Structure 1
Amino acid sequence: MSGISILAFVMIYILSYGYYVVASVESARDEWNFESVNLNVDLSRVLKKVNERFLSVAIDASLVAEEKFMYLLTTCYTSRMLSRTGKWSDSRTHKENNPGHTQALRLSPKLRTLAKALTPAFLRFGGTRQDFMTFNPTFLHSNENHKNSVFDADDICERLELPPLLEKRLKQEWTLQEILLDKEDLQGKYRSVKFTECAVDLLYSFTNCSGLDLIFGLNELLRTSGNSWDSSNARTLLQYCESKQYSMSWELGNEPNSYEKKAGIRVDGYQLGQDFVQLRKILQESKLYRNTGLYGPDISQPRDHRRDLLEGFLESGAEAIDACTWHHYYVNGRDTSLEDFLDPEVLNTLALKTHEVMETIELTSPGKKVWLGETSSAYGGGAKGLSDTFVAGFMWLDKLGLGAKLGLDVLIRQVLIGSGTYHLVDENLDPLPDYWLSVLYKRLVGPEVLSIEAFSILGKTKRVRVYLHCTNKKSTSYKSGAVTLFALNLSKGLARISVPVTISNSTGEAFLLQSEQPGEEGLYSKSVKLNGEVLKMVDERTLPTLQGTPLPAGEHLRLPGYSFAFYVLSEAQALACR
C-alpha cells in the first residue's frame, strides 16, 4: 500500500470516529492500541438523588488569621479599613472625608464571577483555625442601632471594587502568610485569633453577592470548667448576625477527634453531642435561626476502623443536626506521588471509608443525611505540584461520581481560595483545572444518579471509571430524558467505550478535558483544554463559553489517555429522567 493510501485510510478512520482526536501520527497509532470497555446501564429508575448543592466549596478559616486578608474577598468600612497604601486607618477618618459612607463594601469582581458559576452551592467557612477564633466586636450593636443597616444586596453588590494596587499588595502578603500558616500546621501549634464585625460583614457580603449559602463554623474549644461548651461568644456572634439579618447555617467545631493533639483538650462523643444540643436550643430561641441548618460533627475519616466518637455523638446529638458531616482525603500531601493520584485502589478507599461511616449512622440515626463536610485530594494542605494541577482532576471527578453513587448528599471542596495547594483558584485568582471541571459538572450533571457499570475483557475495568446521571435540567436546554455520562481514563492508552443499544442512537455533545501538554508531563500542568482549546477567563468578569462538540449517534465513545470527559446524550429518552 502506498504512503498516500495509508494516509487516506488513517484520515477516513479519524473522521469516522474521532470528532475530538487530533490527526497526528501518534494518535493514529493509538487507534490500534486501545482498551475496549462495555457498559451496562439502567435508565428506568433513579438509583440515588443528591442535594442540588451537591458540589459545594469552602473558604478556610485561616484567611482570617489576619483580618486584612479577608479584604481579598471584599472591602468594608465598618470599624476600620485599609487605605490605598495598604495601611490600617480608622473608619471615622474615612467617614469625615467621605460623607454618607457609613458602610461601604467593595467586591473582588473576578472572584465573585468565579464563585457565581458554582451556584447553587454552600460556602463553608471553617477548618482547623475555626477552633482558635473568637468573635471580638469592636462595638456592641443593638437591634435599634441596626434597624437601618440591614444587609442590602442590591446596593452593596454594585459598589466599587477593591483598588488594584491594594489587591496586588494583599496577594503578595498572603504568600508570606501561607508560609507562616504552613509552619503552624507542621508544628501543630496554633495562635488564638480574634475577628471583628468587619470580617463577618466581608464574608457574608461575598457569599450573598455570589449567590452562595454560607455555613459558618463556630469555635468548639471554648470550654467551661466542667468541660462543656462555653456558648457565650457564639451567642454574641449570633446576636450580631441576627441584627444584620444575615441568613446563614452553622457548624460547631472541626475534627474533634484531633482536639487532644492540637489543643490538649479531650471531648468525648457523648459530650460533643450535648454541645450540639445546646447550640440547637440557642438557635431555636432566635426568630431568624430557629429553623436554620446545623451540621456536624465534622470528624476526620475513620482510622483503624474506630467509630467510638461518632457513635457517642449520634447517641446524644443526632436529633440536633440536619446532616452528619465527616472529612475525607485520599493521601498525605507530604509523602504522596503522581502514581497515587492515578491509582484505582487509592480512589476505591472512598467507598471503604464511606461504608464505615454510613453503617454507624444507619445503626444510630437511620435516614440521616450524610455529607463530606470537607474533602479534597491530600490532607496536610494538599500535595505540592499535584493537588493544584491537572492530575488532581482524576481524584476530584471520581469522588463526585462515586460519592453520589454511594449516597453522600453534599461534598464540600477544600478550598475555593485560601492556604494550601488544593484550591480551585490560585493566588492571582486565576482558575485551576479542578475549577473548570467543577463548573462543567455543575452545568451538565443533574442530582439524579443512574446505575452504570463498566467491563473490559478481564471483568470490571479498573483504569476506566464511568458514572451516569440525568442531565441537569435547570442549567441546560437539553431534552427531557437526556443523560450525562462522565468518564475518566487513568491510563496513557486510548479507551473505546461501547455504548449500550438503548442509547447508541442518541446524538448529543462531548466535553473532553485534557492537559495543555501531551503525555505524562502534562499531568503536572495548571492549564486544561476543553475540546482542544485552553480554558481561561475572557476578562475579569467573563468566563469563556464552555461549548461541547457534536456527538454523532454511534456505538462507541473514544476517550484518550490521561483525560476525562462529559458526554451528554440528549436523545437517550431515559424514563428516570423525564
Structure 2
Amino acid sequence: MGQPRLRSCAGAFAPFHLCAALFFCTLQAEAVPALAEDFESVNLELGVSHVDKKVNERFLSVAIDADLMAQEKFMYLLGSPKLRILAKALTPAFLRFGGTEQDFMQFRPQREPFSSNDHSSLHYPGHSCDRFELPPLLEKRLKQEWALQASVLQHEELLGKFDRKNFSESAVDLLYAFANCSGLDLIFGLNALLRTPDNVWDSQNAELLMNYCDSRQYIMSWELGNEPNSYEKKAGVRVDGYQLGQDFLHLHKVLQKTRIYRSSGLYGPDVGQPRNHRKDLLTGFLETASNAIDACTWHHYYVNGRDTSLEDFKDPEVLDRLAVKTNEVLETVHSVSPGKRVWLGETSSAYGGGALGLSDTFVAGFMWLDKLGLAAKLGLDVVIRQVLIGSGTYHLVDDNLDPLPDYWLSVLYKRLVGPEVLKVEVASNSKQKRLLRVYLHCTNRKSSSYRQGSVTLFALNLSKNQATLSLPALFSNSTIEAYVLQSAEPGVDGLQSRAARLNGVLLKMVDEQTFPPLQGTDLRPGEHLKLPGLSFAFYVVKQARAPVC
C-alpha cells in the first residue's frame, strides 16, 4: 500500500495555529504509490509551536584525555595554532580534562612557591595566547613521537596497569592557555584515588593545585574521580555511594575556601552506565551529595572497541541502547534529586579506546549524530565527546591534527543546531521506518545568518537505499538549505573512509589555518528531500516561521 502524502493546505489554514493546521493537513492525507527502487517516500510531521526540551548552549562539548599529560612534553601540542583554530570552531563548549589517567596523577610544583596575593594576571602563562605558540618543527617532531606514545598508552589500557605520574605548573599553564585561547570552558578532573588509611579522599594535593590555579586566576570548574565503579578493578579500592558523596562534600568545602572557585562548577560522579552495583553507587552518592554538584555526570559507550563490527555502528538496535540507559539514569536522578541537570560527562562510540578503522571513520558519524539527537530529545543537558585529541581511535582530530569525519559533523552541528528541541515524527508504519532517524531543533541563530523562525532538521539514513522525505505542506513555500554528508568513498566499504564529502565536495583544510567553505545547497520550495543511502544530513528550513524559534 502507498504511503500518505500531505496535500497543500497552507492557504486553507493560514489563520490557525501551526500545530492545529498540521493536524488537519495530516487528516487529509492521500495515498500515492511507493517508489519501487527507493528506500520509501515518507512524510514527516513537524511540531514547531512548542519547545519540547532546551539544552545547554554548550550541549556538544569535548574532552582531552589526561593521558596527554602522562609525559608533559606532549602538552605542548596544545600550543599548535592549527589545533586552536579547530577547537574554536566548536565553541561554545566545555573542555573536560580527565579520564582514567587522572586518578593516577599528582601535582608536583617545581617553581618557587607562588603567592596568592599577586593579583596581576597579565604575566601569567595561561592568559598569554601567543606565549605558547608551537614552532612548526617542534610540532612535527611531537606529532611523530605522540604516535608512538599513543601505542604505549593503549597497551597500558589493555593490561589495566597504570603507573602514578606527576605533572607540574607548566602542564597546567599549557592546558589553561589552550582552553582560554580557544574559547573553551575548562573542567579539570582531580585524582580521587589519593586516599587516607580510612579510605577517605585526601585533598592535600588537590588544594596545592587549586592554590596555584587560584593565584594565577585560572577560571575553571572541577570534577573528582573518573568512573568510581571501576576503582576496585583499577586500583584495588572500593568506594560506596555514601563515601563518594562525602568526598564531594569535602571538595565543595575546599572550593569555598578559595578566592575564585567558591562559585565555580562542580560536576560528578562520572559513573559508568547503569549496571548492577553502579545503580546503588549513583543512588547513594546523590542521597549524600546531590546539593554539592551542579550537574550529575555519567558515561556511555555503545560497544566494546575490541570485538565490535561495522554493522554495529549502523544497527538501530545498538543505537537504541542509549535511550534505555539514559532513562535509567534520569529515573534514578529525578527520584533522588528532582530537577538536577544530567550530563553525559564522557561518551563516544566504543570503549577501550575506540574501535580501530571504525571509531575514526565515517561510519562513526551514525552513532555520534544519533547520540546528539537522542540525548537532547531525552533531556540530557550536555554531551562531552571523548576525545578532541588523544590516544585511542575515537578522536575528532587525528595524530597529525587533521580533522576526521566526526569533527566536520560536529562543526556543522554547532553552526546549524540550536538548543531548542522540537518534535518530529516519521509518518510511516513501514518496517523500514527504524532505518530512518530524524530530529528537529530551532536553527542556531547565534552562529549563523538564518532568520528568526527557521528550524533545522537532521536525519540519518541507515539503509543502503535513498530515502525521499516530504515535509508538511505548511513549509512548501520555504527554501531549504541542505548539508548532506557522505563518505569520501562509495558503498558499504567506503563507510570506513577517514574522509567525508559535503554535498559531494571533499572536506579538508585549505591550509593549516583555513577552513573549507561549509556551504549548503538550496532546494526549491516544495522540493522533496533526497537523503542518499548510508548518509546523514542537516536541512535548514529557512522560512519555517516557527513561533518558538
The normalised TM-score by structure 2 is 0.91
Q: Please say if residues 151 and 246 of structure 1, whose CA atoms lie closer than 8 Å, have aligned partners that are also in contact.
A: no
Mapping of 1:243-392 within 5 angstroms? 243-304=215-276, 307-392=279-364
1:56 is matched with which residue? 61
Counterpart selection for 2:435 from 450, 463, 471: 463
Count residues with an aligned counterpart.
515
Could you tell me which runs of 5 or more consecutive residues in structure 1 were left unpaired when the two chains were aligned. 1-29, 75-107
Of residues 459-468 and 218-227 in structure 1, the stretch that sits farther from structure 2 once superposed is 459-468
Alpha-carbon distance change, 539 to 145 in structure 1, aligned in 2, over 3 angstroms: farther
Q: Secondary structure at the match of 1:383?
A: coil
Q: Please say if residues 150 and 243 of structure 1, whose CA atoms lie closer than 8 Å, have aligned partners that are also in contact.
A: no
Q: Which amino acid aligns with 1:41?
A: L
Q: Please say if residues 449 and 469 of structure 1, whose CA atoms lie closer than 8 Å, have aligned partners that are also in contact.
A: yes
Counterpart selection for 1:69 from 71, 74, 82: 74
2:513 is matched with which residue? 541
Counterpart-to-counterpart distance in 1, 2:62 and 2:390? 12
Q: Secondary structure at the match of 1:224?
A: coil
Alpha-carbon distance change, 258 to 554 in structure 1, aligned in 2, over 3 angstroms: same
Q: Which amino acid aligns with 2:456?
A: T
Counterpart-to-counterpart distance in 1, 2:194 and 2:340? 28
| Distance apart, 1:153 and its partner CA | 8.5
1:436 aligns with 2:408: yes
Mapping of 1:449-460 within 5 angstroms? 449-458=421-430
Q: Which amino acid aligns with 2:65?
A: D
1:133 is matched with which residue? 105
1:32 is matched with which residue? 37
Q: Which amino acid aligns with 2:52?
A: L
2:137 is matched with which residue? 165
Q: Secondary structure at the match of 1:73?
A: helix
| Distance apart, 1:545 and its partner CA | 1.6
Tell me the alpha carbon deviations over residues 149-172 of structure 1, each in whole angstroms, 9 at most, x when there is no partner.
556689722347322222111111
2:24 is matched with which residue? none
Q: Secondary structure at the match of 2:357?
A: coil
Counterpart-to-counterpart distance in 2, 1:529 and 1:329? 26
1:185 aligns with 2:157: yes
| Distance apart, 1:543 and its partner CA | 1.0
Alpha-carbon distance change, 305 to 342 in structure 1, aligned in 2, over 3 angstroms: farther
Q: Please say if residues 121 and 127 of structure 2, whose CA atoms lie closer than 8 Å, have aligned partners that are also in contact.
A: no
Alpha-carbon distance change, 306 to 300 in structure 1, aligned in 2, over 3 angstroms: closer
The normalised TM-score by structure 1 is 0.87
Counterpart-to-counterpart distance in 2, 1:538 and 1:277? 49
Counterpart selection for 1:499 from 457, 471, 475: 471
1:43 is matched with which residue? 48
| Distance apart, 1:504 and its partner CA | 2.7
Query: Percent identity of the aligned residues?
Result: 70
Counterpart-to-counterpart distance in 1, 2:413 and 2:383? 13
What do you get for the CA RMSD once the two structures are aligned? Answer: 1.6
2:525 is matched with which residue? 553
| Distance apart, 1:184 and its partner CA | 1.0
Counterpart-to-counterpart distance in 1, 2:263 and 2:170? 26
Q: Which amino acid aligns with 1:57?
A: V
| Distance apart, 1:140 and its partner CA | 4.5
Counterpart-to-counterpart distance in 1, 2:36 and 2:520? 22
Q: Please say if residues 487 and 564 of structure 1, whose CA atoms lie closer than 8 Å, have aligned partners that are also in contact.
A: yes
Q: Please say if residues 392 and 434 of structure 1, whose CA atoms lie closer than 8 Å, have aligned partners that are also in contact.
A: yes
Alpha-carbon distance change, 552 to 152 in structure 1, aligned in 2, over 3 angstroms: farther
Counterpart-to-counterpart distance in 1, 2:432 and 2:314? 17
Q: Please say if residues 464 and 490 of structure 1, whose CA atoms lie closer than 8 Å, have aligned partners that are also in contact.
A: yes
Q: Please say if residues 513 and 565 of structure 1, whose CA atoms lie closer than 8 Å, have aligned partners that are also in contact.
A: yes
Counterpart-to-counterpart distance in 2, 1:305 and 1:459? 37
Counterpart-to-counterpart distance in 2, 1:70 and 1:249? 20
1:174 is matched with which residue? 146
1:528 is matched with which residue? 500
Counterpart-to-counterpart distance in 1, 2:225 and 2:427? 43
Counterpart-to-counterpart distance in 2, 1:404 and 1:244? 36
Counterpart-to-counterpart distance in 1, 2:303 and 2:98? 21
Counterpart-to-counterpart distance in 2, 1:46 and 1:162? 45
Q: Please say if residues 151 and 245 of structure 1, whose CA atoms lie closer than 8 Å, have aligned partners that are also in contact.
A: no
Q: Please say if residues 480 and 524 of structure 2, whose CA atoms lie closer than 8 Å, have aligned partners that are also in contact.
A: yes
Q: Please say if residues 44 and 472 of structure 2, whose CA atoms lie closer than 8 Å, have aligned partners that are also in contact.
A: yes
Q: Please say if residues 132 and 174 of structure 2, whose CA atoms lie closer than 8 Å, have aligned partners that are also in contact.
A: no
Mapping of 1:215-226 within 5 angstroms? 215-226=187-198
Counterpart selection for 1:427 from 391, 395, 399: 399
Counterpart-to-counterpart distance in 1, 2:289 and 2:404? 39
| Distance apart, 1:254 and its partner CA | 0.1
Tell me the alpha carbon deviations over residues 365-400 of structure 1, each in whole angstroms, 9 at most, x when there is no partner.
000000000000000000000000000000000000
Counterpart-to-counterpart distance in 1, 2:356 and 2:230? 24
| Distance apart, 1:508 and its partner CA | 2.4
| Distance apart, 1:541 and its partner CA | 1.3
Alpha-carbon distance change, 135 to 306 in structure 1, aligned in 2, over 3 angstroms: closer
Could you tell me which runs of 5 or more consecutive residues in structure 2 were left unpaired when the two chains were aligned. 1-34
Q: Please say if residues 500 and 555 of structure 1, whose CA atoms lie closer than 8 Å, have aligned partners that are also in contact.
A: no
Q: Secondary structure at the match of 1:59?
A: strand
Q: Please say if residues 305 and 356 of structure 1, whose CA atoms lie closer than 8 Å, have aligned partners that are also in contact.
A: no
Q: Secondary structure at the match of 1:250?
A: strand
Q: Please say if residues 417 and 442 of structure 2, whose CA atoms lie closer than 8 Å, have aligned partners that are also in contact.
A: yes
Q: Please say if residues 484 and 503 of structure 2, whose CA atoms lie closer than 8 Å, have aligned partners that are also in contact.
A: yes
